[in-house]
Amino acid sequence: MMGKDSDMRPGDGDPSPLIVGALLGLKDAVVTWISRARQIVIRGFALFSIVFLLLWIAAFLYGSFYYSYMPKAVFSTPVHYHYRTDCESPASFLCSYPVANISLMRNSKHVLTFGQAYQMSLQLDMPDSPTNQELGMFMIKTTCFSREGGQVASSARSARQLLFASSSRFSMLRYRSELLRSLGTLLFFPAFLTGVSEQKQMLEVELFSDYTDDPYLPSASAIIEILSSKVQIYSSQLYVHAHFTGIRYLLFNFPLLSAVVGISSNFFFLSLLFVLSYVKLLFKEDWAPVQLRTDGGQNNHQEDESDAAEGTAEMVGPFLMTPQN
């Protein structure tokens, strides 16, 4: 019995090696899976970063193009009139027509874009007073000047000038009979009494219907003159509207669709450029070892030829010795 016990080796019938092998195999599988998952995550993050960067560049290019190509659609500014009061005659206090000087520049930049057609209109807030009703028709003259002070354009020109450049702008209050004004006053009496509403009319006068700024002589200011010294005005506002055509019309009226098309086009071209650059880089990496091996073979061949030449010189050297030697 003791001999049989001594013949038995330790570990026979023990399942420990099988468990250890299974654990090692499981460990290798987990390590392999983790390494593959890590590679997938790294590649996915790199791809997401590249796509995000290309989208950001595409959006930036479209925004830069839109900002530089699209002019301001609407420009408005208040108009403040002034009179000359240095009259020689004591009977009259107002010596001139109401005149307003308006700047067409913002932050040292011209408001009007070269080559773009604009519509200029003047909005007048006038009281419905007997003086304005008796005033009848009055003319409004507008003249644009450059920064150097030269006259660029005028909306009230003389008859000697060309027909397409000549225009006169008139305006007047809307006619309302005495009965209609009395009924309106009685109807809106509480609003008039509390100050919620006022007895006034809003007039809009078109100064220029299709004004295009000259690139060689851009407009920097405009002089608006109302050719009537008796006109009564609460406030006034100048509006400049741009008439877009072509690409500008699409960009302004369909901004979302234009943004999608523009950013998508930029992203497509940037992606194509990136793919071509990456393929070119891969081809360079594939050809680089072949060139190195070729250069190495040529160098080895040259070294072999130089070694052979040196051996030949050593073998021939003793036979070329002179008798003195």
Nearest C-alpha neighbor of 224 from the set 103, 73, 86:
103
Residue 170 · residue 139 · CB < 8 Å: yes
pLDDT band at residue 261 using 50, 70 and 90 as cut-offs: very high
Mean predicted lDDT score pLDDT of the chain: 75
Q: Which residue type sits at 117?
A: A
pLDDT at 165: 31
d(CA 256, CA 143): 38
CA 274 to chain centroid, in Å, comes to 24
| Residues whose CB falls within 8 Å of the CB of residue 319, separated by 6 or more in sequence, listed in order | none
Q: What is the mean pLDDT of residues 264-291?
A: 80
Question: For residues 57 and 113, which has the higher predicted lDDT (pLDDT)?
Answer: 57
Residue 100 half-sphere exposure toward CB, CA atoms < 13 A: 20
DSSP 8-state secondary structure symbol assigned to residue 82:
B
d(CA 82, CA 99): 5
Residue 156 · residue 167 · CB < 8 Å: yes
d(CA 138, CA 229): 10
d(CA 95, CA 88): 9
d(CA 257, CA 22): 60
| Residues whose CB falls within 8 Å of the CB of residue 96, separated by 6 or more in sequence, listed in order | 83, 84, 229
Q: What is the mean pLDDT of residues 178-199?
A: 74
Number of helices (H), then strands (E), belonging to the chain: the values are 7, 11
- Choose the weakest-confidence range: 55-59, 179-183, 222-226, 229-233: 179-183
Instruction: Name the pTM for this structure.
Output: 0.62
For 18-33, what is each residue's pLDDT tens digit? 777 777 777 778 888 8
| Residues whose CB falls within 8 Å of the CB of residue 221, separated by 6 or more in sequence, listed in order | 101, 102, 103, 104, 105, 144, 145
d(CA 302, CA 300): 5
**Secondary element (H or E) of residue 24:** helix 16-69
Length reported for the chain = 325
pLDDT at 323: 44
For 48-105, what is each residue's pLDDT tens digit? 898 999 999 999 999 999 988 888 888 889 999 888 776 766 656 667 788 898 888 8
Q: What angle do CA 4, 10, 11 make, to 5 degrees?
A: 125
- CA distances to 55, 294, 297, 299 from 306, rounded to whole Å, are 59, 18, 14, 10
User: Ramachandran region of residue 42, left (φ > 0), alpha (ψ -120 to 50) or beta?
Assistant: alpha
State both tokens at 140.
């409004």
pLDDT at 8: 47
Residue 319 has pLDDT above 50, yes or no: no
